[in-house]
Amino acid sequence: MLRNVVTAFAVLLLCIPASAGTLVWENAFADEADISGATVDAATTGDVQVDITTAVVSDQDNGGPGPDQSPFSTNPLYFKAEHATTGNHAGYGFLGFDNTADDPADYLEIRLGFSTPVGGLTFSLLDIDQRSQLGTRDFIDAVIVTYNDGPNVLSNPAFYSLGPNVQVGDEGLGEFEGVAHIADGEATFNGSTDSNIDFDFGTTNVSSVTIRYFTTDDAPANPSGQLMGISDLVWTVVPEPATASLLLAGVIGLAAARRRP
């Protein structure tokens, strides 16, 4: 009888499909919309809620009257949704700033928290590059990516794949940084994936992803704004252990009922 119960339970679990979810920025937000503190509900993603929290951290060691960090160009927002294209991906979460001090202690940070842990999570960071003008590096993009409010993805190389214009950085912070491949200009343009980082967490359950974006101190100056993007996110959600326990209890109950006279 026990063997029959276990077999029935296994068959029942196989009959419960994993749900699929996506965060498509242009579906969740209007173009140029502020995403700071936003919530994307389960009806929009397809299965789980995504909570977006952001932070702008900046000291004041550049000698000026205000913080070193300011928004990108004339744009008033550090974080927003974009319907345009960068890194050969249409529609993305935008992070942008202008840091006058080239200081890694100044950064933008965004956390994407899932209301239920997800598996099979995939996404890309777009346009992590470097700009050189006449052989002088004006800025170098850098990002640190952690998950589940702790581990750095660098601890598991299976989680990421670097484009040819991205490398592991030398700041000692567990960061990736952009690489310039031409003497004058940016390493990548909107139609290229060369400066993207692709992430695939496989079977690891992920409850949150945090991205910290800054400029390295290897560049001598930062005369203009820097930007990067976050592509659409795709994931699956498998039945939770509590759900599986309830199903097992139900199967056992049915089996017991059949044995009663």
Q: Is the pLDDT of residue 45 over 80?
A: yes
The pLDDT assigned to 11 comes to 43
Higher local confidence (pLDDT), 6 or 94? 94
The pLDDT assigned to 225 comes to 83
Distance in angstroms (rounded) separating the CA atoms of residues 212 and 141 = 11
Mean pLDDT of the 122-146 span: 88
Burial tier of 257 (Cβ tally within 10 Å: 0-12, 13-18, 19+): exposed
The pLDDT assigned to 6 comes to 46
Q: Is the pLDDT of residue 187 over 70?
A: no
The pLDDT assigned to 236 comes to 95
Contact 201, 153 (CB under 8 A): no
The pLDDT assigned to 157 comes to 97
What does the radius of gyration of the chain's CA atoms come to, in whole angstroms?
A: 23
Q: Which two tokens stand for residue 68?
A: 């070193």
